[in-house]
Every structure is written in C-alpha cells, then in structure tokens.
C-alpha cells in the first residue's frame, strides 16, 4: 500500500540559482526502507521537509498522502530536539499535544520506550543518557504517536558504530512491523541490512543505485597508511609520561601510559562517543578546566588558554560557530592580522581549497560543508606547529573529506603535528599512529600494526564498515 507519494516535484529556493528538485518522484510503501544519499547541498534536508509537509515555500508537482497518515521525524542533532527534562515527559510530549488523558499516558509511553529498546525508568533525567540512548529516546518520542512513516536525518554521522548497530537492529524490527522508513544520509554504506531502496539525489532527481559489491579492504592495505618515518630525532610537541584524564568529580575518562606527538606526525584519536576524545583535545589546548592536574607538556610548556598564539590551533566540533565576519576572506584574514602574519595566505588558502569564488560572500550564506572548510582553512593558514581537530570529518560528504585529507597531508609535510579525533578510522587519511580509547585506557598503535590482532581486539569495530564506497 502506498503511504506517501511525491509526483514530479519541482522546487527552487531562488530562481537565480536554479531548481533544487527537477520533477522529482518517490513512492513510499509499508515495510520499505529508503536510503537517500546525496552530497552536501544536494537538497537532502529540503526533501525531508517536503516529505513531512512543512516546506514553507511553494513547489510545483503533487505530494499525495494516504489519509490518515502520521509521520515521525528524527532530525540531525538529538540535543536540540529534546524539549523536556525527563524521559517520560519527553516521550509524552506528542501525547500531551494530541490531548491524550494523563492517566493513559504512562502505558503508551512505556510501550513506545520498549519498542525503541530503551529500558530506563520514566523519571530518568535526559542528561544522564548517552548519545545513542538519546537517539533511541527521540525515536520513542515519535513511535508513541504510532507513525506509519519514520524519517531519519543523517543518523550515521551522529552515532558511533555500536549506536549504528543498535539503530539498524531497531529499524529492522520496525520495518518488519510494516513501518516505512526513509533515511537521508551522505554515507552510502550505512544501514545496509535494512535498506530496501537506495537513491542518489543528484541534479534534482532521485536516481536508483545498487549497493557497491567491492570487497572490503583491510586496514593494512589502505593506501598510504604506512608512513614509516623516523621522527624520534625531533623534539616532540606533546609529551606526557603518564596521563590520567579524570573529571574533578572523580569520573575517570581514561589512563594512558605515555603520549608523544612529533612535528609532522598525524595521529588519529579513536574512541566511542563519550570516551574523552574532545576532553583530551581541550586539555592539550589548555581550555578544559574541570579536570585534575595533568602531567602534560605541549610545545614545551603547560597548556593554558592564550599561551600559544598562532602555534597551536584547535578546530572545535561544529566549527561554523566561530564564523562572525562579513565576508569569507575577512574571516580568513582575522587571525592572520591578529598574529601579524602575511594576509596573502588567506586568499592563497582559499585558492588551494577551490573556494576562491566564495571570498566575498558572507560565511553565513554558505553550505554546511563550505562553512566547515572555511573554519578549518582559517586555522590552517596560520601554519601552526600543532593542529588539533575535533571530529573534522563530521557531516562532510566524500568530496569535502578528500579536501580535508589533502589539507592535513600538506600541513603534515610542512612539519605541523596533527591530532584528530574521530569515532571511526577514516580510511582515506594516512596517519602515523592511532591513539585508541577503549575500556578507559588509551593505547598508541603504529598505523600498520592496527590491523594486527592486538589492536583490532582493542579497537574492535572502530574501523568504518562502509569505506569501500567512499572516495
């Protein structure tokens, strides 16, 4: 039975830019799971809005919805969709809004939570849930109003591998019960167990494609992973003989028996959500103040905010937050001017990244990927001695991932030490070492030995399972 149908939809935000959708069509039936893949800016989020029926601007074509049809939507960041403080109240929000009597709510909420596989007390504070649990909570908050269609916006990038496995299992179960699911995702290999239809959103149309059958490459076969270089002659930029990262309230993140990071070295910091990756990066930059004293030396001194000037740069998560200037080029030149560095580097960097056409645009009018790149480029053109990148590939499609990888390689060749965090191994990127956090321990591995048995046991499941079709 067809639940929802889009018939020859054409739509564009601005006539000058051209049509975002060009006679786009889609049929959604019970028990189907559609994966819609597309690069940044191809209109994935707009398509979701169109499916939900909340697109605020007029479009041509027809959206036919079987009546009554209810649709549940889980948007990208679960944190901005959580509206209440406890699990029960959060799930009941939709019930409250449809006037369900209070005495019937508890059963319905408990049922939805069971369906979503979240077994916690109804009065559990949301703050105590992990990201994976929050994602389940968001799904339960949709399931409570028994939707026939569930739409998910880029869940893969948000979740670590365990979270993705759990979600796949859950989706499979929902699909079995007849729910139609649409996943909008720029990672093609994700959720392969439950996907029934795959679409590429390109040129304003949905083009069907088959899953890639290429064999999975093992980590040691990845190009350029073995960067055998003797760096030990150089003075390390980060030195720690023994590191225990622990919050002041005694919550332990991890121990490490010693860390060294040398100039020109690229190290990937791998671990699940909440394992302490961001905290370590912030500790290295001297901006994490709720942790105990650390035996840590960065660029020869103890880390402190404002101590390193242009020699240390940190790219936070969602780096578009740092953009404030009126044009992209001003944004690039901001730090160069402040640190008295040649301002020509700004335009040079933009040209190198293929962004020079954007120089005079407002950074806030750019796409997500472009903003991300501009923020990264504004730090890279400082040519720091140590560059810390917190989840630099989050939300980027393969085109932008390649640009970031090239930039990292180039900086490394110039002698910049780079430490980047990720919850999966990024196969395109050549690194010297992996720092893996698991079971509250940080262990260092040479890149080539990660494929070895010990490392794989330790970092079980951390390698991206879908890289055969990326890049």
Partner 1 sequence: MRSLLSTAMAWFLMVIKMWVKRVKTPFFDRSGRDRTSPHYVVRSAKLCALCIVATLCCASGAFFVPNTALIPLLLINAALLGHGRYLGGRVRGLLLLFAIQLLITSMLYLLLHGVERLHEGGLAVTRIMLAIIPGWWLSIVCTPQRIGEVLSWCLPRKWAFVMAASFSLLPYMAKETREIYQMQVMRGANITAKALCYPKHWPELIYCVLYPLLIQLLKLSKQMALAAKLRGFGSHKRPTHWPD
Partner 2 sequence: MSDKGFSLHDALFIGFCATLLVALKGMLRLKLGITGHSMFLICFFYLICYGAVGKAGAISACGMLAGLLAMMLSVGKGGPFILLKFALPAIAMDLCLLILPTLLGLKWRFIMLALVATLAWASKGLIEDLLVGMSIAVALVQFAKSALFGSLFAVFAATLVPPVLQRLRSHDLLDNTELK
What residues make contact with partner 2 under the rule CB under 8 A? Answer: 326, 362-365
Candidate list 83, 207, 234, 454; residue touching partner 1; CB under 8 A: 83
**Does position 371 bind partner 1 by CB under 8 A?**
no
**Does position 127 bind partner 1 by CB under 8 A?**
yes
**Does position 426 bind partner 1 by CB under 8 A?**
no
Q: Give the contact letters, 14-53, x = binds to partner 1 (CB under 8 A), - = no.
A: --------------------------------------x-
Catalytic residue among 154, 166, 185, 265: 154
Candidate list 38, 43, 88, 189; residue touching partner 1; CB under 8 A: 88
Q: At closest approach, how far in Å is the CB of 147 from partner 2?
A: 21
Q: Which of residues 432-451 bind partner 1 (CB under 8 A)?
A: none
Cα distance between residue 372 and residue 370, in whole Å: 5
302 interacts with, out of partner 1, partner 2, none, CB within 5 to 8 A per kind:
none
Interface with partner 1 by CB under 8 A: which range of 36-44, 201-209, 316-324, 415-423?
A: 316-324
Interface with partner 1 by CB under 8 A: which range of 3-11, 72-80, 214-222, 229-237?
A: 72-80
Which strands make up the sheet holding 197-202, listed edge to edge? 71-74, 149-153, 180-185, 33-37, 197-202, 205-208
362 interacts with, out of partner 1, partner 2, none, CB within 5 to 8 A per kind:
partner 2
208 interacts with, out of partner 1, partner 2, none, CB within 5 to 8 A per kind:
none
Candidate list 248, 250, 413, 439; residue touching partner 1; CB under 8 A: 248
Nearer to partner 2, 302 or 364 (CB): 364
Q: At closest approach, how far in Å is the CB of 148 from partner 1?
A: 15
Candidate list 80, 107, 208, 439; residue touching partner 1; CB under 8 A: 80
**Does position 102 bind partner 1 by CB under 8 A?**
yes
Q: Are 134 and 82 in contact (CB under 8 A)?
A: yes
Nearer to partner 2, 189 or 363 (CB): 363
365 interacts with, out of partner 1, partner 2, none, CB within 5 to 8 A per kind:
partner 2
Nearer to partner 1, 312 or 353 (CB): 312
**Does position 92 bind partner 1 by CB under 8 A?**
yes
Candidate list 7, 207, 324, 441; residue touching partner 1; CB under 8 A: 324
Q: At closest approach, how far in Å is the CB of 81 from partner 1?
A: 4
**Does position 313 bind partner 1 by CB under 8 A?**
yes
Q: Report CA-CA distances (Å) from 368 to 41, 197, 266, 378, 469.
A: 8, 26, 25, 16, 22
Interface with partner 1 by CB under 8 A: which range of 212-220, 331-339, 344-352, 421-429?
A: 331-339
Cα distance between residue 228 and residue 446, in whole Å: 9
Give CA 258 to chain center in angstroms: 29
| The three-state (H, E, C) secondary structure of the chain, written as one string | CEEEEEEEEEECCCCCCCCCEEEEEEEEECCCEEEEECCCCCCHHHHHHHHHCCCCCCCEEEEEECCCCCEEEECCCHHHCCCCCEHHHHHHHHHHHCCCCHHHHHHHHHHHHHHCCCCCCCCCEHHHCCHHHHHHHHHHHHHCCCCCEEEEECHHHHCCHHHHHHHHHHHHHHHHCCCEEEEEECCCCCCCCCCCEEEEEECCEEEECCCCCCCCCCHHHCCCCCCCCCCCCCCCCEEECCEEEEECCCCEEEEECCEEECCCCEEEEEECCCCCHHHHHHHHHCCCCCECCCCCEECCECCCCCCCHHHEEEECCCHHHHCCCCCHHHHHHHHHHHCCCCCHHHHHHHHHCCCHHHCCCCHHHCCHHHHHHHHHHHHHCCCCCEEEEECCCCCCCHHHHHHHHHHHHHHHHCCCEEEEEECCECCCCCCCEEEEEECCEEEEEEHHHCCCHHHHHHCCCCECCCHHHCC
93 interacts with, out of partner 2, partner 1, none, CB within 5 to 8 A per kind:
partner 1
326 interacts with, out of partner 1, partner 2, none, CB within 5 to 8 A per kind:
partner 2
Q: Report CA-CA distances (Å) from 439 to 67, 215, 247, 459.
A: 50, 31, 16, 10
100 interacts with, out of partner 1, partner 2, none, CB within 5 to 8 A per kind:
partner 1
Q: Is 410 a catalytic residue?
A: no
**Does position 55 bind partner 1 by CB under 8 A?**
no
Active-site residue set:
154
| Interacting residue ranges for partner 1, rule: CB under 8 A | 52, 54, 73, 75, 77, 79-81, 83-86, 88-89, 92-103, 105-106, 109, 123, 125-128, 141-142, 145, 248, 285, 287-290, 305-306, 308-310, 312-314, 316, 319, 321-324, 334-335, 338-339, 364, 378-379
């Amino acid at each position: 039975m067809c639940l929802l149908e889009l018939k020859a939809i054409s739509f564009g935000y601005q006539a000058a830019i051209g049509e975002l959708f060009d006679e786009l069509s889609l049929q959604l039936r019970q028990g189907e799971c559609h994966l819609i893949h597309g690069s940044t800016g191809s209109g994935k989020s707009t398509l979701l809005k169109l499916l939900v029926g909340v697109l605020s601007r007029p479009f041509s074509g027809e959206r036919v919805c079987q009546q009554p049809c209810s649709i549940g939507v889980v948007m990208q960041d679960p944190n901005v969709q959580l509206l209440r403080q406890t699990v029960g109240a959060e799930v009941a929000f939709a019930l409250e809004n449809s006037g369900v009597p209070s005495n019937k709510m508890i059963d319905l909420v408990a049922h939805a939570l069971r369906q979503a596989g979240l077994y916690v007390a109804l009065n559990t504070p949301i703050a105590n849930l992990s990201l994976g649990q929050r994602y389940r909570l968001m799904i339960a908050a949709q399931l409570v109003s028994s939707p026939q269609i569930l739409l998910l916006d880029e869940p893969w990038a948000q979740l670590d591998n365990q979270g993705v496995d759990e979600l796949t299992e859950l989706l499979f179960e929902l699909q079995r019960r007849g729910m139609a699911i649409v996943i909008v995702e720029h990672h093609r290999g994700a959720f392969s167990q439950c996907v029934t239809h795959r679409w590429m959103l390109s040129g304003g149309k949905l083009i069907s494609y088959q899953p890639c059958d290429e064999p999975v490459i093992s980590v040691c076969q990845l190009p350029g992973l073995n960067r055998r270089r003797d760096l030990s002659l150089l003075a390390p930029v980060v030195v720690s003989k023994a590191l225990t990262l622990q919050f002041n309230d005694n919550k332990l993140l991890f121990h490490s028996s010693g860390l060294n990071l040398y100039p020109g070295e690229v190290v990937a910091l791998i671990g699940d959500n909440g394992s302490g990756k961001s905290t370590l990066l912030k500790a290295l930059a001297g901006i994490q103040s709720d942790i105990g004293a650390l035996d840590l030396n960065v660029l020869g001194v103890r880390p402190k905010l404002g101590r390193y000037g242009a020699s240390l740069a940190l790219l936070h998560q969602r780096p578009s937050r740092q953009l404030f200037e009126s044009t992209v080029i001003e944004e690039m030149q901001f730090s160069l001017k402040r640190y008295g560095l040649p301002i020509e580097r700004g335009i040079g960097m933009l040209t190198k990244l293929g962004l020079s056409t954007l120089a005079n645009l407002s950074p806030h009018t750019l796409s997500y990927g472009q903003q991300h790149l501009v923020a990264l480029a504004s730090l890279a053109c400082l040519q720091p001695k140590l560059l810390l990148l917190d989840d630099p590939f989050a939300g980027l499609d393969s085109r932008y991932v390649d640009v970031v990888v090239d930039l990292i390689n180039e900086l490394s060749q110039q002698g910049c030490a780079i430490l980047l965090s990720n919850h999966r191994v990024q196969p395109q990127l050549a690194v010297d070492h992996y720092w893996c956090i698991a079971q509250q321990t940080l262990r260092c591995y040479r890149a080539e030995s990660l494929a070895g048995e010990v490392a794989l046991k330790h970092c079980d499941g951390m390698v991206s399972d879908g890289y055969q079709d990326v890049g």
